[in-house]
Structure 1
């Protein structure tokens, strides 16, 4: 019916969480952000009409802002636990999922078409001749990779702590103009949607232009 119930009532105390003052082992600002975004996603699934959604979104944000200066860590952790429990009972049974997100209709749809880059080494010369510019550039990349590999491994070993790397991110280049660590996989990564993505974007732009024309005609008719 388009009505948006009070899915996150006064019992939702996630607003009492002060992320920047919380201990990293228990509570981080990333955890609060993820919870906030996830709550908004379910709120959008409950509220069909956008005006109601934005109204309840403002109420939700107000609850987060109400206790943003909370300094009692035990209270913040307890409030987060209570908020997650209430969210579990009030979550939407069938929340909206983006097509490319995990659980979406097109999640990893194009992964089966992505082959390892080394497969190009087994192409026949007649096949490579159809893409001369790319394979010429690829030979330059391979030469640069052979020249920079020893330096990349040395830097990686020097900057890695004894107990192993802490973050997943690789160390950056030492100076401007140098290559980052393991750059080969970044340069040669396959496209997500080689041709279809551009076609979808063009269709979306065309639909947006049609919607604008419809709005203009509606405004003109009302006048």
Structure 2
């Protein structure tokens, strides 16, 4: 086997691994309950396993491109984002005050003149 064949094959394996992980994570966005997710994840795995016997490099490239296009077409429009991650609901909810602003903690001791 030539070095170019092995390099191309390694690149294909990496693309498939990344695609599978992205699709599996996106499945969580579509499945409301865990029992639904487990079935969808099993179906996704079967789709990937059905084509693992293919050896022709051009066919594999074409299949990967088709799978990536399908993933991009069916990607969830409003994915779940962990609340404290960038884009999440709690991200920078309580930002630090701008410089020069003073916070006084003397609640209940206001001057009543």
* TM-score range relative to shorter protein: 0.5 to 0.7
Residue matched to 1:53: 37
Residue from 90, 94, 97 that aligns with 2:78: 94
The ranges of structure 1 where at least 4 consecutive aligned residues each deviate by more than 3 angstroms after the TM superposition are: 99-107
Q: CA deviation at 1:92?
A: 0.7
Looking at structure 2, the residues matched to 55 and 97 of structure 1 have their Cα atoms a distance apart, in angstroms, of 22
Match of 2:8 among 23, 27, 39: 23
Report if the CA contact (8 A) 1:97-1:103 is conserved. yes
Q: TM-score, normalised by structure 1?
A: 0.35
Could you state the TM-score of these two structures normalised by the residue count of structure 2?
Answer: 0.64
* Residue among 18, 24, 32 paired with 1:40: 24
Structure 1 residue 106: deviation in Å? 5.9
1 or 2 for the larger relative contact order (CA 8 Å, sep ≥6)?
2
Which ranges in structure 2 are unaligned for 5 or more consecutive residues?
Answer: 1-5, 97-113
* 1:56-78 deviation per Cα after TM superposition (whole angstroms, max 9, x unaligned): 11011011111212211111111
Give the superposed CA RMSD.
Answer: 2.7
Identify the match of residue 69 of structure 2 among 85, 88, 95: 85
8 Å CA contact 2:15–2:64 kept in 1: the answer is no
